[in-house]
């Protein structure tokens, strides 16, 4: 930090190395069942022919990612065999020898190189004041916010997943759009969709943006669409890239007539409205409202106690949640809600694209909208909004404010992922590390124009401290721990849902009230 600039990017290398060292130290930490999921996929892709990949069901963790990810695992498995061949046997369920752990952890750490490269490309797109102190440079802050992101660290390197690599592809594609290399960006996004289909949630932003800003080459003077500037050639190029990517990915399965099977593995609608831990979204609030109304109803003798199923009291532990007062929610309704929530934002970038930054904003809204209203949302999906929002946070004060609220609540809602006593200190330490850095650096960055957060927001965020103390230190000592073990999870997700919802509304306001004049300047 204090060294003179030896080379221009030496600080970036130091940041990347630093976080990689931390990742290596976490190799022996707790890992969730996702570790076994990925080990199983290594075994499936390594020892079975392609035609069997989506049919194999020895393990309960069947392959439910798109084909490119399966090929990615296939590639990894060819390195894995030099570590421990036993991990590549499908029948070795829950196999976790030290060599297997080492290999799987290292594979995450090394594939994160994609993420590191993508972050570097993003940092190059930063608008920068020259000659500033390193710690006050927006590219430095952005690199730290992304590379040292708390959520990625715990989800990938403790809980175990490959999000770093996947977000690397996403951020790289965003950076390419910033650099006006749209075809490359489109290709990367198409590849990403075939790696993990959860990114479909942000595809509306991509589709509309490419159509509007790439296929139409010119705007009117006021930034609105000039219909005559449509370029069919560009549309064909775009379509060709996307279609051929999908053809490479799904082609073999279509030829074998397995498309139906693959699709049914990718979209398992049998799961419940909320994931085992409630993600902090609208449905968490909806569930809690339902619970409150039913208790109120019983108290006021408006409802008959016997009508409720017993299971509804253990919500958060079972997959299906029975609503007792409010109408139950079907997947279709969540889909409609999601679409309705992102429609205005998508429409707005169609009207006034506001350049790549407008697109990025729309993408964050898509991610947040689907997080808030989607079916069976994982709490980890909040990273899809937090990471891209980091790019905006270092450029405007209002976005920085939204980012601080969203990242703090979103990251806090990830706490229940790590429930082991051994990892309790590490998650608190890493969270503090990230939060203190983000608050102090962003405050310093925008120090000219007063404090970032108002007192209500500060009070809300400080409320997380007693919440954590109650959930993890006080509550386990009480007798309710055995009768009502889900209360801390419920409190966490309801409390965080408020912050996420608030950030969503703030983002929406920023889109809808954006001055159209800036749009004219940037979209040229």
Enumerate binding residues for another protein (CB under 8 A). Answer: 1-4, 6, 10, 14, 17-18, 21-22, 24-29, 135-136, 421-422, 425-426, 429-430, 432-433, 436-437, 439-441, 444
Smaller CB distance to another protein: residue 461 or 490? Answer: 461
Smaller CB distance to another protein: residue 109 or 238? Answer: 109
The string over 128-156, giving b where at least 16 C-beta atoms fall within 10 Å of a residue's C-beta and e elsewhere, is eeeeeeeeebbbbbbbbbbbbbbbbbbbb
| 219, 226 contact by CB (below 8 A) | yes
Query: Taking the complex as a whole, how short is the minimal distance between the CB of residue 32 and another protein, in angstroms?
Result: 16
Smaller CB distance to another protein: residue 20 or 179? Answer: 20
Query: Taking the complex as a whole, how short is the minimal distance between the CB of residue 142 and another protein, in angstroms?
Result: 14
Smaller CB distance to another protein: residue 101 or 501? Answer: 101
Smaller CB distance to another protein: residue 7 or 305? Answer: 7
What are residue 318's DSSP bridge partners? 315
Query: Taking the complex as a whole, how short is the minimal distance between the CB of residue 465 and another protein, in angstroms?
Result: 15
Query: Taking the complex as a whole, how short is the minimal distance between the CB of residue 3 and another protein, in angstroms?
Result: 5
Q: In 3-state terms, the chain is what percent helix, strand and coil (to 5)?
A: 70, 0, 25
Which of 324, 315, 350 shows the shortest CA–CA distance to 491? 315
Smaller CB distance to another protein: residue 102 or 293? Answer: 102
Query: Taking the complex as a whole, how short is the minimal distance between the CB of residue 360 and another protein, in angstroms?
Result: 25
Smaller CB distance to another protein: residue 433 or 467? Answer: 433
215 DSSP assignment: I
Smaller CB distance to another protein: residue 77 or 139? Answer: 139
| 349, 212 contact by CB (below 8 A) | yes
Cα 292 to Cα 120, 288, 517: the distances in Å are: 48, 6, 47
Smaller CB distance to another protein: residue 128 or 320? Answer: 128
Q: Tell me how far apart the alpha carbons of residues 403 and 423 are, in angstroms, rounded to a whole number.
A: 26
Query: Taking the complex as a whole, how short is the minimal distance between the CB of residue 10 and another protein, in angstroms?
Result: 7
Query: Taking the complex as a whole, how short is the minimal distance between the CB of residue 450 and another protein, in angstroms?
Result: 16
Contacts of 325 (CB under 8 A, 6+ apart): 290, 293, 294, 297, 303
Query: Taking the complex as a whole, how short is the minimal distance between the CB of residue 515 and another protein, in angstroms?
Result: 31
Measure the CA dihedral 407/412/416/417, to 10°: 30
**CA neighbours within 13 Å on the CB side: how many for 227?**
0
31 DSSP assignment: -
Backbone angles phi, psi at 306, to 5 degrees: -70, -15
Using a 10 angstrom Cβ sphere, with 0-12 exposed, 13-18 middle and 19 or more buried, the burial of residue 397 is middle
Query: Taking the complex as a whole, how short is the minimal distance between the CB of residue 4 and another protein, in angstroms?
Result: 7
């Amino acid at each position: 930090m204090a060294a003179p600039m030896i080379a221009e990017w030496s600080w970036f290398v130091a940041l990347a190395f630093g976080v990689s060292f931390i990742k290596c130290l976490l190799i022996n930490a707790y890992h969730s069942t996702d570790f076994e999921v990925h080990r199983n996929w290594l075994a499936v892709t390594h020892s079975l022919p392609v035609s069997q990949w989506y049919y194999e069901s020895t393990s309960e963790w069947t392959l439910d990612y798109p084909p490119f990810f399966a090929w990615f695992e296939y590639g990894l498995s060819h390195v894995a065999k030099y570590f421990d061949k036993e991990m590549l046997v499908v029948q070795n369920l829950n196999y976790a020898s030290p060599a297997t752990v080492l290999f799987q952890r290292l594979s995450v750490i090394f594939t994160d190189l994609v993420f590191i490269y993508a972050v570097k490309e993003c940092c190059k797109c930063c608008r920068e004041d020259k000659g500033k102190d390193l710690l006050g440079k927006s590219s430095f802050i952005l690199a730290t916010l992304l590379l040292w992101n708390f959520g990625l660290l715990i989800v990938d390197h403790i809980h175990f997943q490959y999000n770093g690599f996947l977000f690397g592809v996403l951020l790289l594609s965003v950076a390419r759009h910033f650099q006006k290399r749209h075809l490359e960006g489109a290709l990367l996004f198409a590849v990403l969709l075939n790696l993990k289909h959860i990114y479909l949630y942000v595809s509306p932003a991509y589709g509309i943006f490419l159509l509007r800003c790439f296929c139409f080459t010119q705007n009117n003077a006021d930034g609105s669409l000039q219909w005559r500037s449509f370029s069919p050639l560009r549309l064909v190029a775009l379509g060709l890239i996307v279609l051929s990517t999908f053809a490479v990915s799904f082609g073999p399965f279509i030829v074998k007539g397995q498309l139906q099977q693959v699709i049914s593995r990718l979209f398992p609608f049998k799961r419940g409205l909320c994931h085992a831990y409630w993600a902090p979204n609208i449905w968490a609030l909806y569930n809690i409202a339902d619970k409150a109304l039913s208790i109120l109803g019983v108290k006021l003798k408006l409802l008959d106690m016997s009508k409720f199923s017993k299971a509804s009291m253990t919500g958060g532990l079972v997959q299906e949640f029975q609503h007792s007062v409010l109408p139950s929610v079907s997947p279709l309704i969540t889909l409609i809600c999601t679409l309705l929530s992102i429609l205005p934002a998508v429409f707005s970038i169609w009207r006034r694209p506001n350049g790549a930054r407008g697109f990025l904003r729309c993408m964050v809204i898509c991610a947040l909208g689907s997080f808030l209203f989607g079916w069976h949302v994982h709490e980890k999906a909040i990273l899809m909004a937090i990471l891209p929002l980091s790019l905006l946070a270092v450029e405007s004060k209002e976005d920085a404010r939204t980012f601080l609220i969203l990242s703090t609540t979103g990251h806090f809602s990830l706490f229940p992922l790590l429930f082991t006593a051994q990892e309790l200190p590490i998650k608190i330490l890493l969270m503090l590390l990230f939060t203190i850095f983000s608050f102090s650096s962003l405050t310093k960055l925008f120090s000219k124009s007063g404090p970032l957060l108002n007192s209500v927001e500060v009070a809300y965020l400080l409320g997380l401290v007693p919440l954590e103390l109650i959930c993890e230190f006080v509550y386990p000592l009480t007798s309710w721990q055995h009768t009502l073990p889900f209360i801390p999870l419920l409190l966490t997700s309801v409390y965080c849902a408020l912050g996420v919802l608030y950030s969503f509304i703030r983002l929406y306001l920023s889109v809808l009230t954006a001055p159209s004049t800036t749009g004219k300047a940037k979209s040229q």
